[in-house]
Amino acid sequence: MPGSAVSPGPVAVDTMGGDHAPDEIIAGAVTAVREHDVRLILVGQAPRIKQQLDRLGVAGQIPIAHADEALAMDEGALASRRKPRSSVAIACRLIRQNRASALVSAGTTAGVVATSRLRLRGQHGVTRPAIAVVLPTRPRPTVLLDAGATADVKPETLVQFAALGTAYAQVRHGVDRPRVGLLTIGAEPGKGNKLIRRAHELLTAAPPGIEFVGNIEGDDLLGGKVDVVVTDGFTGNVALKTIEGSVRLALAEVEAAIGSSRRARMGAAMQRRPLRELRDRLDSGTYGGGVLLGLNGTVVIAHGASNAKAITSACVLAHDLVRGNIVERIREQVAAARPPRFGRRHGDRDHPAPERDEPPSAD
């Protein structure tokens, strides 16, 4: 493992969440350690984890934190209070104690969000967390948030989400000034529902650090026109799942179409490989999973159906976000974007924007 002056804590991996827990989770984590130099701590039933590490030939090489219980797949927001000793709760405690820097879980989204929200608490200045997902756009990726953490929001919360998404695109995709769009139902400023119209006004007032470029409609979500798309957690989740269902339908129909005649079937045989690669790329199991932003700690929520490969990716992502100081970057972005009337601090910004010192106009 590469030495560094101040090494961030290890990534805590919840071995009890997901359809293929714990074996695939542990296998994926081990690959992250072996091939990507990621420091980890495995959280879950210690005897079971030891057994699997033994089988994989790395007995004693990865630290373990014991947890008795998993969040059940059908548990929601109340799970956290009921299960203070769940693997996710234990992982959050490690983060609070500075014994871990991030959490990776393939557990149920609602349970992971509720538990980590309760136990990690929101970062200073962040009133609601958001789940960021990366859409399969080309050539540049687009970050969509919120994909489902907070269903009912205020317009001001959407401005915060813009700050979270900006920090995320900077750290994850290396975009210097990410272009931010607002998901709505028409290109013109006056389009949308009340929430979105007001959020548009606030974003048009150009909060420092946020490069707002206007409205994005559903049919442009995958057009790669912006780096960040902001929406509430209800609309964002509907949109994300609609993408998944639509792509699945389209590819299934393609398979049916190219199997529809002898001539077409012969053609299909020649295309098996490119089509399989395409399915992998558009498959939600690959691009799926999200990062819960805005808490005192980084939380990567892997897809429930994650296999070992997806878990390895999630561990590497958590590691990269921690090294990119995502929590600190969010703190800076949110502090910068906050209107002066809430007492914005100037001292901790690299690029003060004095021309923005007037209160944002709401015309």
Q: By rule CB under 8 A, what string of x and - marks binding of each residue 189-208 to its own copies?
A: -xxxxx-x------------
* Residue 246 interacting with its own copies (CB under 8 A): yes
Site for its own copies (CB under 8 A): which residue of 129, 148, 181, 209?
Answer: 148
Site for its own copies (CB under 8 A): which residue of 19, 257, 353, 359?
Answer: 257
In whole angstroms, how close is the CB of 236 to its own copies at the nearest point?
9
CA distance linking residue 294 with residue 352, whole number of Å: 22
In whole angstroms, how close is the CB of 122 to its own copies at the nearest point?
20
Residue keyed to tokens 């996710």: 88
The token pair that represents 217 in the structure block = 């409609």
Residue keyed to tokens 């990716």: 313
Site for its own copies (CB under 8 A): which residue of 127, 275, 325, 332?
Answer: 275
In whole angstroms, how close is the CB of 174 to its own copies at the nearest point?
24
Q: Which stretch binds its own copies (CB under 8 A): 161-169, 237-245, 300-308, 334-342?
A: 237-245
Q: By rule CB under 8 A, what string of x and - marks binding of each residue 209-228 to its own copies?
A: --------xxxxxxx-----
Burial of 115 from C-beta contacts in 10 A (0-12 / 13-18 / 19+): buried
In whole angstroms, how close is the CB of 278 to its own copies at the nearest point?
4
Question: What is the CA angle 153-156-160, rounded to 5?
Answer: 90
Q: By rule CB under 8 A, what string of x and - marks binding of each residue 169-188 to its own copies?
A: --------------xxxx-x
Output 67 or 182, the one with its CB closest to its own copies: 182
From residue 85, alpha-carbon distances to 43, 79, 208, 276 in Å are: 11, 11, 42, 41
Paired with 104 in beta bridges are 13, 300
Closest CA to 109 of 259, 290, 314: 290
Site for its own copies (CB under 8 A): which residue of 234, 285, 320, 325?
Answer: 234
Q: By rule CB under 8 A, what string of x and - marks binding of each residue 107-146 to its own copies?
A: ---x-------------------------x----------
CA distance linking residue 250 with residue 354, whole number of Å: 50
Where would I find the beta strands (DSSP E) of the chain? 11-14, 40-44, 64-66, 102-105, 130-135, 142-145, 179-184, 211-217, 228-230, 290-293, 298-301
Burial of 57 from C-beta contacts in 10 A (0-12 / 13-18 / 19+): exposed
Site for its own copies (CB under 8 A): which residue of 248, 324, 325, 360?
Answer: 248
Output 273 or 351, the one with its CB closest to its own copies: 273
* Residue 75 interacting with its own copies (CB under 8 A): no
Q: By rule CB under 8 A, what string of x and - marks binding of each residue 30-69 to its own copies?
A: ----------------------------------------
Output 142 or 333, the one with its CB closest to its own copies: 142
Contact by Cβ (8 Å): 69, 103:
no
* Residue 266 interacting with its own copies (CB under 8 A): yes
CA distance linking residue 304 with residue 288, whole number of Å: 9
Main-chain dihedrals φ then ψ at residue 181, nearest 5 degrees: -115, 160
* Secondary structure (DSSP) of 304-331: TT--HHHHHHHHHHHHHHHHTTHHHHHH
Binding site for its own copies (CB under 8 A): 74, 76, 110, 136, 148, 151-152, 183-186, 188, 190-194, 196, 217-223, 232-235, 237-251, 253-254, 257-258, 260-261, 263-264, 266-271, 273-275, 277-278, 281-282
